[in-house]
Chains A and B, each alone.
Chain A
Amino acid sequence: MFVMSELFLLGLAASLFSIICLASALVIKISQIRELREKTKELEKSLEEMDEQAKLIIRTDLELNKTQEELDKKISGLYILQKISQAVSTTLQEEEIFKRIEKSYLEELGFTKTIFFTFDRDKKLVVKLNYGYSEESLEKIKKDLDEKVLPSLMNKPQLISSAKNQAPELKELISSVFGISSFILSLLITKEGLCGLAFLGSETESSLITEGDEELVLILTNSISQALENAKLFEETYRSHQELERKIEERTRELSYALEEIKKISRRKTDFVSAVSHELRTPLTSIKGYTSILLSEKLGGLPKEVKERLERMNRHCDELVGLINDLLDLSRIETGKIKFEFICQKLDLIVSDILELLSPQIKEKNIKIELNIEREISVFVDRAQINRVFINIIGNALKFTPENSRITIEAKEKDNVVQVDISDTGIGISEKDLSFIFDEFYRVDNPINQKIKGTGLGLSLVKSIIEAHKGKIWIESKIGEGSKFSFTLPKDEETKDSNR
């Protein structure tokens, strides 16, 4: 019994022990499971956190990609733009501007189909550049643009892009007209207003039009507009220049013709004067001869009245001979019949000889001559002819200068010539007479001229002689203040060389 109960107790103890063991194992397992759950939760949490981090990474990556793509686009776009701008800005012809926009440039910008339109004078669209459209489709596009698109473009921004959130109906219309869903339509605007429009379409796989594209197209169309404006301005300037040149040419032709006519008439007049003078001189010589014979009274004594008349006739004959000689000289100089004999002369010597010749008149009117000619000044002239110049001008000065006045004779070297100025303090010449003073037979209407006779050929002759010396003559004068005659004569050395 005892053994039985002992065994029972032992069994019970063993069972209890196993239960205790199992229970503790269970407790351990449960705690392990708990621990694993905790760890799983932690892992899940870490995974979620990592996924959140991944989201952050991927969003940053997306932004970076976008920025880089846009930057890439801009860099290559700007490079192309620079090429286009350079190409279009170096021409001033409208047609050439569009020819210089190469297809490859636009393709590099990502546009596979491009049309540039401008307006003609009748405000009709003209295609200036076309890449990618057939002739037939162009006609339809033009018609649709004219009828449907252009009226809707009023009051719209300069640039319509398929990527922008703007005017959905208009965008759909443009897309259907050009048959492309990815596009930019930009207006070409100059100072005078709308001058055309540019359509740039993309049908490549990377056709997403971005803000960068829009900016590039705007720069492109603006630089083309600028080039068009420049070309137009140049065209206008060029045309008016051409017109001006044409007019000048026409007028020059007319003037040359008129000049030729004048020369012909002048030649005829000179020939006529020369012929008439010759014809007059023979009978005049004869009249003068007979008058002289009669006056010598070799043919018999003359009553006082007759003698007086004959003396008057003789004086008039002398005047007429002088006039005819002047006329003949003038026509000879003009026709080049007089042979000039140029030699080097000291100017002061020429002038002093003349003054010597005119000394009676100088003394008579008590005129003070002021001479200002440097001794070394030489001129290359025909002495006899140049004497006539000085006699004429100084003679005139003496004629129109009141008594006890002053006449100044100056000479100075100027460039390649010697300029001589002869001034008096005489009555002067009015402005209206000045321009005719060198004309043949022109005599200024003044009291002195009314008293003293003259031919009106003196200054014409002077002018011809000066011009035959390749010089110039001019006059400055004021009524009551006197006159100043100036002329140039060839200078010694250079003129000698040039005349050889």
Chain B
Amino acid sequence: MIAGIGLSKNEDPYLAGREAAEIARKKIPKEKIDLAIIFSSINLASSSLLRGIRDMIGKVSIIGCTASSPISGLKIEREAVLVILISSKNNILSTSYVSEVSKKGLRQAGEELSISFLKRKDIAQRQFSLIFSDGLLERQSEILLGMQSRLGKSFPLVGGVASGNLKSQKTFQYFDENLLSDSIVGLLVSKKMEYMEYSISLRHGFRPLGKSRIITEAEANVIKTIDKRPAVSLYEEYFGKDIKRDFDYISRLYPIGIYLEEEKNYLLRSVLRASEDGNLVFQTDIPKDTKIRLMIGTKESLLEAARLAAEEAKRAIQRVSLVLIFNSISRKMILGREAEREIEIIKKVFGNTPLAGFYAYGEKAPLKSLEFKGQSYLHNHSITILAIGE
């Protein structure tokens, strides 16, 4: 696999798409382009962006989504589009999408996406699937469960949840010439001949603090009681009764950790909001009787986690030709001025390898990343690195 990345900050979506695609094309001028992955800021979300890309590189498959901040090379961009052009001789790259996800149900939509991948006759040995889903969908892990029901429980699913900005009440997904919402777009990578090298690494750098608690009442992604007390009291107990104004800030700094015995690791969950009646609403389901802990991290532990994730991904394969980063928007906010340092750390590990990514509302990856044979989950507050070789 060979990749070329182009970036444009042009305010006109068509021109931005064209410009970024042209830059990316110049990096791999002679190769046949098999796929374009795009991450754009919300101001450029438009079908003319896709038209601009296709006018430059021809009718290739496109997948991608909007991002509150695209990540390019050393920098975190604010308003920009990143076009990643991929040429792959030895792999089959099957793309597909499912729209109207909330109407169909998330699990159903996940299943549907997997079925459409598997329908392709030329699918050989399946490697992993890259997926981007709408950021405003709640209970995102249902999508993964739906996919896993068809592709296998341990099949590696990786990707990010599309993000936007505070103002945008929407996030968008890109598929070929379509600007979508309430959708999942995805790619299934399967190998043709030799073994294709890739590695997925996920870390968060948070540690548990305080005693373990048990969820005593829950309904899907809403936790009602913890240790038989209103769920929000977990935060009130630690930070005092008057946390309403700072709740978003506090819950961003101190997420919830779920210890998974079989994975020997904590799965992180961000609280979306606290409801008036004291419930805690999450992006995904947390069942009754789950043991949870309050998690704490420092800037240094977060940066160290990024370094470990990068090194782990690099170590697993011989020659990396593309690095994709799906980083948590919460980490960007916690790191503040240090956020660029996190990208620098990763860049240092991979050297001059093309690198791109975005800050997501959720990260998808197997938890036990080293062997990536474990189950894939939806994560929060984590950094996922996908390294692809040839």
Contacts and interface: CB of A to CB of B under 8 A. Distances in A.
- A in complex with B: yes
Interface of A: 47-48, 50-51, 54-55, 57-59, 61-62, 65-66, 69, 72-73, 76, 107, 112, 179-182, 202-208
Contacts of B210: 50-51, 54-55, 58
Contacts of B332: 205-206
A58 B239 contact: yes
B165 A203 contact: yes
B167 A54 contact: no
A338 to B, nearest CB: 83
Contact of A107 (B78, B165, B240): B78
Interface in B316-361: 329, 332-334, 336-337
B238 A203 contact: no
A207 B248 CA distance: 11
A487 to B, nearest CB: 80
Contacts of A205: 68, 163, 165-166, 329, 332-333
Contact of A57 (B78, B167, B209, B240): B209
Contacts of A73: 336
A61 B254 CA distance: 10
Interface in B163-205: 163, 165-167
B385 interface: no
B143 interface: no
Contact of A58 (B209, B248, B334): B209
Contacts of A207: 166
Contact of B167 (A65, A69, A203, A208): A203
A179 B168 CA distance: 11
Contact of B239 (A62, A69, A72, A208): A62
B260 interface: no
Nearest to B359: A205
Nearest to B163: A205
B253 interface: yes
18 contacts: A47-B211, A51-B210, A54-B294, A58-B209, A61-B253, A61-B296, A65-B334, A69-B336, A72-B337, A107-B78, A112-B165, A203-B166, A204-B68, A204-B166, A205-B68, A205-B333, A207-B166, A208-B249
Nearest to A201: B167
Contacts of B238: 54-55, 58-59
Given A54-B210, A62-B250, A182 B237 contact: no
A341 B167 CA distance: 95
Can you list the 7 inter-chain pairs with the closest CB atoms, starting with the nearest?
A54-B210, A203-B167, A203-B166, A51-B211, A206-B333, A54-B209, A51-B210
Given A65-B253, A203-B165, A203-B167, A58 B337 contact: no
Contacts of B78: 107
A182 B163 CA distance: 19
Contacts of B296: 57-58, 61
B385 to A, nearest CB: 21
Nearest to B338: A72
Contacts of B294: 54, 58
B209 A76 contact: no
A181 B249 CA distance: 17
B166 A182 contact: yes
A396 to B, nearest CB: 90
B232 to A, nearest CB: 16
Nearest to A59: B239
Contacts of B329: 205
Given A50-B211, A59-B239, A61-B296, A208 B336 contact: no
Contacts of A66: 249
A119 to B, nearest CB: 29
Nearest to B42: A203
Contacts of A181: 166
B125 to A, nearest CB: 40
Contacts of A72: 336-337
Given A58-B296, A205-B333, A206-B333, 13 more contacts: A54-B209, A58-B210, A58-B238, A58-B239, A58-B254, A62-B239, A62-B254, A72-B336, A107-B78, A202-B166, A203-B166, A203-B167, A205-B163
A112 B166 CA distance: 11
The interface centre, meaning the residue of A62, A112, A181 with most chain B CB atoms within 10 A of its CB, is: A62
Contacts of A54: 209-211, 238, 294
B211 A180 contact: no
A108 B248 CA distance: 22
Nearest to A55: B238
A48 B227 CA distance: 14
Nearest to A65: B253
A118 B381 CA distance: 44
Contact of A62 (B166, B237, B248, B253): B253
A275 B336 CA distance: 99
A378 to B, nearest CB: 83
Interface string B195-235: 00000000000000111000000000000000000000000
Contacts of A203: 165-167
A184 B181 CA distance: 32
The interface centre, meaning the residue of A47, A50, A65 with most chain B CB atoms within 10 A of its CB, is: A65
Contacts of B334: 65
Contacts of A112: 165
Nearest to A207: B166
B121 to A, nearest CB: 43
A54 B254 CA distance: 13
A208 B253 CA distance: 14
B160 to A, nearest CB: 15
A61 B248 CA distance: 16
B57 to A, nearest CB: 30
Nearest to B336: A72
A315 to B, nearest CB: 105
B292 to A, nearest CB: 14
B146 to A, nearest CB: 28
A69 B334 CA distance: 9
A58 B235 CA distance: 11
A495 B248 CA distance: 92
A208 B248 contact: yes
Nearest to B165: A203
Contacts of A61: 253, 296
B303 to A, nearest CB: 14
Nearest to B208: A54
The interface centre, meaning the residue of A48, A58, A61, A73 with most chain B CB atoms within 10 A of its CB, is: A58
Contact of A55 (B237, B253, B336): B237
Nearest to A163: B245
Contacts of A202: 166
